[in-house]
Amino acid sequence: MQLFFNESLTPKSTLLKFNREESKHIIKVLRKKTGNLLQITNGKGFLFSAQITLDLPNKCEAKIINNTYYEAPKTKIHIAIAPTKMNERFEWFLEKATEIGIQEITPIFCDRSERKIIKNERFRKIIQSASKQSLQYHFPKLNKPIALKEFIATHINESLLIAHCEKAQKQSLKNVLKNTSSKNFTILIGPEGDFSTKEIELAIIKNYLPITLGETRLRTETAGIVAVHSIVFGSSR
């Protein structure tokens, strides 16, 4: 199934007008014609069926026939992660985490962060593309970047976790998942140089549980993927 995205659609919508770029893709690339059906989501849980009524390459329009609402996953995963020095690595994380089933992402700036400027609009488009490709109707939420200290001070959740590499007492994520009934997780993932000792101590004071994601040292983006996959897989068993 080819899934399209339009965030302006609501259950009361009756007509959809595609922009020039989308119209060209639908008519020229996919070779859709008047009368053909399209599947569209607003990224908020709704799937709309629409029938093309105008098939011009620069102006495609469709009539909404019906819509169906799908419940969001019961398990909520929020990864607060430091952007990587190489942009493509962070973009890879966004794409794969979305495909696996993350619900919320917050870029965080840490003491050892090497990247302080990010392009949230580009990241949002990557998430949208990955959501459509993996046929998801609830798109992950991408928050504005924030300093780690501010995030820790303002964010409250059922299960607060921090993954770090320092030699200290930590629980494995596997054991945490085995011994909790929580369905709402927030995990902090640090930059390439890891969190500073001061940041780890601050997180622990704010009730973040130190965890390990395995025996090997992982890149930032890999750690994020491992965390998301572990929770999605663990909660489905």
**106-142 residue pLDDT tens:** 999 999 998 888 888 999 999 999 999 999 999 999 9
Q: Which of 112-116, 172-176, 232-236 has the least mean pLDDT? A: 232-236
Nearest CA to 8 out of 48, 35, 36 is that of 48
CA distances from 231 to 56, 59, 68, 78, 83 (A): 45, 43, 27, 11, 21
Model confidence band, residue 151 (pLDDT cutoffs 50, 70, 90) = very high
Model confidence band, residue 235 (pLDDT cutoffs 50, 70, 90) = low
Spell out the residues 6+ positions from residue 134 whose beta carbon is closer than 8 angstroms to its own: 98, 99
**38-68 residue pLDDT tens:** 999 999 999 999 999 999 999 999 999 999 9
Tell the residue number behind the tokens 């085995």, with chain if given: 178
Model confidence band, residue 101 (pLDDT cutoffs 50, 70, 90) = very high
Q: What integer pLDDT is reported at residue 237 of this predicted model?
A: 47
- Strands 46-56 and 59-69 come out as antiparallel
Spell out the residues 6+ positions from residue 151 whose beta carbon is closer than 8 angstroms to its own: 80, 106, 108, 188
pLDDT above 90 covers a percentage of the chain that reads: 85
User: Is the pTM for the entire model greater than 0.75?
Assistant: yes
For the domain made up of 3-69, give the CATH fold: Ribosomal Protein L25; Chain P (2.40.240)
> Where, residue-wise, is CATH 3.40.1280.10 in the chain?
76-235
Measured CA angle at 72 (ends 67, 77), to 5 deg: 150
Helices 120-133 and 87-100, packing angle to 10 deg: 40
**What average pLDDT does range 156-164 have in this prediction?**
90
> Where, residue-wise, is CATH 2.40.240.20 in the chain?
3-69
pLDDT above 70 covers a percentage of the chain that reads: 99
Token pair for residue 129? 């593309």
For the domain made up of 76-235, give the CATH fold: Alpha/beta knot (3.40.1280)
Neighbour-count burial for 165-190, b at 16+ CB within 10 Å, e otherwise: beeeebeebeebbeeeeeeebbbbbb
End-to-end CA distance of the chain: 27
